[in-house]
Amino acid sequence: MNIVVLVKQVPDSGAERALRPDDFTVDRGAANNVINEMDEYAVEEALKIQEAHGGEVTILTVGPESAAEAIRKALQMGADRGVHVVDDALHGSCALATSAVLAAALRTLNADLVLAGAESTDGRVQVMPHMLAERLGIAALTGARKLTVSPDGALRIE
């Protein structure tokens, strides 16, 4: 089973945040940035599924060069590879624009399953899975507490 996990680099929730005066976006250079905690749970879940059923775990992120740290963290956890979309034109982009970029990347990755954290700790909008499902013409289920995969590959979600 080929699993893609979406991760985002976010400012550490314990750190003070500042806005950039030129565009009023979060100044990510002024805070310690980390992998989004909720996405870390999704990586752990993907690795459990991989351990039980084989396949590959790919990490996907969109963000500045520094977002590679989030991919590195997921690779240290055991993921197989990472895909990082970097484009300065995406700085400060909304969820709609980000979903278009993520959907384009996902189309190239041949995922059997896409996992994402419940929300990002910097935005807390919880819309990305639904936007991606709409763009890709696939189902989205959020709020899952537990995932299990049967020997025949059927996914059970509680």
Q: Where are the domains of the chain?
A: 2-7+37-157
User: Do 8 and 22 form a contact (C-beta atoms < 8 A)?
Assistant: no
pLDDT computed for residue 17 by the predictor = 66
- Tell me which CATH homologous superfamily contains domain 2-7+37-157: HUPs (3.40.50.620)
Q: Could you tell me whether strands 81-85 and 56-62 are parallel, antiparallel, or unpaired per DSSP bridges? A: parallel
Residue with tokens 């980000």: 98
CA distances from 67 to 87, 129, 141 (A): 12, 20, 26
- pLDDT at position 145 is 84
Q: What is the pLDDT along the chain (158 residues), one digit of tens a residue?
A: 999 999 999 887 776 766 777 776 666 565 688 899 999 999 999 999 999 999 999 999 999 999 999 999 999 999 999 999 999 898 888 899 999 999 999 999 999 999 999 888 777 678 999 999 999 999 998 888 888 888 887 888 88
Contact 67, 31 (CB under 8 A): no
Q: For residue 78, which amino acid is it?
A: G
**Token couple for 101:** 């970029």
